[in-house]
Chains A and B, each alone.
Chain A
Amino acid sequence: MCCSSWKYTALAFLVVAVVATGCSKKQTVKSDAGAGAAAPAAGETAAQQAPAAQAPAQPVMTAKQAEAARGVAVTEEKASMFADVRFDFDRSDLRDDAKKTCQEVAAYMKKNPGKKLLVEGHCDDRGTAEYNMALGDRRATSVKNYLVSLGVPTSALSTVSFGKERPLDPGHNEEAWAKNRRAHFVLQ
């Protein structure tokens, strides 16, 4: 025990030494650039003023901001013109009522060839999150495969699973669970 503590101590000193060396080097570089340091500041001010003077009416979203917005958007339920497809517990095969819904979706997609459709797979909140994430994926894929068999081009379809992370009904009874085991259609 004593030995291993010493080892850590030695390591800590070593790390401190390395960091210290690194710092002093950096500082040297900084002091060299001391005179120029004001320039970026001035540039910043200019950049800040520029948008006020000539910015377009709509704010420009950087790629990072757009990603972050998409990250938040996945937590939101989007309204759909189609009914959800429902599943039995721990199942991903399509019931007759599910097939009927899919046939309506397929008919719409074939009439509107330019449209893209996202199929979301969801689960009820019973069972492990990882397993449900995979199950939701299989549910979405099961729906996608059926739509393809009905003549919808694969290129018009994509899938995503939210497992049990986004229940439609927050209840904890069979009625709520039945609503939450679903595929949800989002036209894009």
Chain B
Amino acid sequence: MAFLAFALFPAAAGAVLYIDINAPGGKRLPLAVGDFVVVSGSPALTRGIPKMLEADLELTQLFDLVPQEAQLEKVVSAHFAGKNLDFPAWKTVGAEAVVIGKVEGRGDQLAIEMRVYDATQGTLIIGKRYSGTPAQVPQIVHRFANEIVYVFTGVRGVFGTEIAFSARDGRGKEIYVVGMDGKGLRKVTGNRSFNLFPRWSPDGRWLAFTSFRTGVPVIYLHNPETGVEKEVVRAGDTKAPGGFSPDGDWLYYSASAGGNSDIHRVRVVGGAREKVAGGWGLEVSPTVSPDGRRIAFASDRAGAPQIYVKDLGSGEERRISQPGVYATSPCWSPAGDRIAFTARAGGRFAIYTVGPDGNDLRPVASLSDADCEDPSFSPDGRQLVYSLRKKGYSALKITSLDGRRERTLVSGLGDVGSPAWSPAR
């Protein structure tokens, strides 16, 4: 992660937001990514960069991309040394914004400069220079794509983030990680046992999950980068990690004793444990509010499982899902204003969000012939990843909160479930 980034031109403070992401059926911004210029080193250095950038921007469904073949002006190195772009020519092909880029190769290092212009006003919106190795190019492109999304929407993009999940492999289940763009799928465990319920630490470096790899369920912390693994919870029968406190010091989890599951938390360093919520019902799936003061969890204390919010200070608990409805797997939004969960309606499972006070219930994803379950928020809070199951078929889907923009993240693996979106990278 150690490539260098310099802001050449700061994004204009309080700039006009070009795209209102909350507008229903919001309009897309026509944007052109020009071919990149190579000023020194092999011309092959640019290979793929504009396409990578376009692929990221395409994923947001916020932009209409003007294809390179349609573009009239060829970007040259003089454009980075004072020469103005021919903005009318860009407007002619429909572009309201233009991205240009320049690559310089110096030994095994690359310097990449990227700029975004407003073609209508003829002004520079943002410019950045990055340096790193060729292997770091995807990270650099993701980083700049996040900047582009930020200058146009006011919310930083989530390119370069990852989703962890569990899926069937032989008879067992392994933990997998995949990029939010669907690339870089890899297996994190490989012990042919049951590995379940992955959850990211707030710094994005550790995955907590339950594994039966010694024959009994234990919660481990695993660093996918280094392979380092630590045991965190062995006590109790059944157990599943739920979420971390915002400072990463505590892991909230469910564990059962004598057939009764309660919510506990454990100090990640030191291992001190305490019970946080319980009762005679089954309490599972804790998720922590971003300020760390409240948790939401599922409990069947009133019959069918429902969602409750507990204030950790006062100890007060209140139900936020509708009585009688089977509701599970809450996930607190990064801004703290919504809780996503799974509810059973008409014999099918569907995804909803609701305010932490139980008001303003909104549907997100439902299908008449499939189950939508296990929502997890993207770090910008604008999207949810969830699992879809239809008879033997299963997939991970990513959807906008209004359910309008949707795409398949992972398919072709068996029993995919428990997706967890990583923090911002």
Q: Which residues of A contact B (CB under 8 A)?
A: 1-2, 5, 8-9, 12, 15-16, 67-68, 70-76, 90, 92, 125-131, 133-138, 140-142, 144-145, 159-163, 165-166, 170, 172
Contact = CB atoms under 8 A, between A and B. Distances in A.
Pick the most buried of A71, A73, A166, A170: most chain B CB atoms within 10 A of its CB: A71
B333 to A, nearest CB: 18
B180 interface: no
A154 to B, nearest CB: 11
Contacts of B391: 172
Contact of B326 (A1, A127, A159, A162): A127
A20 B6 CA distance: 26
A159 B279 CA distance: 21
Contacts, number: 146
Contacts of A135: 282
Contacts of B374: 128-129
20 contacts: A1-B11, A2-B7, A15-B2, A68-B191, A68-B213, A68-B214, A71-B213, A75-B192, A76-B171, A128-B284, A128-B342, A129-B166, A129-B374, A130-B328, A131-B300, A133-B196, A134-B282, A141-B258, A144-B259, A160-B216
Interface of B: 1-2, 4-7, 10-11, 147, 166, 170-173, 191-194, 196-197, 211-216, 237-238, 240, 242, 254, 256, 258-261, 282, 284-285, 298, 300, 304-305, 326, 328-329, 342, 344, 349, 371, 373-374, 389, 391-392, 417-418
Contact of A9 (B4, B212, B326, B344): B4
The 4 closest A-B pairs by CB, nearest first: A141-B259, A70-B215, A12-B2, A71-B193
Nearest to A92: B259
Given A74-B194, A76-B171, A90-B326, A133 B4 contact: no
A165 B238 contact: no
B256 A134 contact: yes
Nearest to B196: A129
Contact of A5 (B7, B259, B328, B329): B7
Nearest to B348: A126
Contacts of A2: 5-7, 10
A6 to B, nearest CB: 9
Contact of A170 (B5, B197, B328, B392): B392
Of listed A16, A68, A133, A162, residue having the most chain B CB within 10 A = A133
A8 B2 contact: yes
A163 B328 CA distance: 15
B175 to A, nearest CB: 13
Contacts of B349: 126-127
Given A71-B213, A141-B259, A128 B298 contact: yes
Nearest to A143: B259
Please indicate which of the listed interface residues A8, A130, A133, A136 has the most CB atoms of chain B within 10 Å of its own CB. Answer: A130
Contacts of A9: 2, 4-5
Contacts of A71: 191-193, 211-215
A5 B4 contact: yes
Given A12-B1, A90-B326, A130-B285, A72 B193 contact: yes
B282 A131 contact: yes
B253 to A, nearest CB: 10
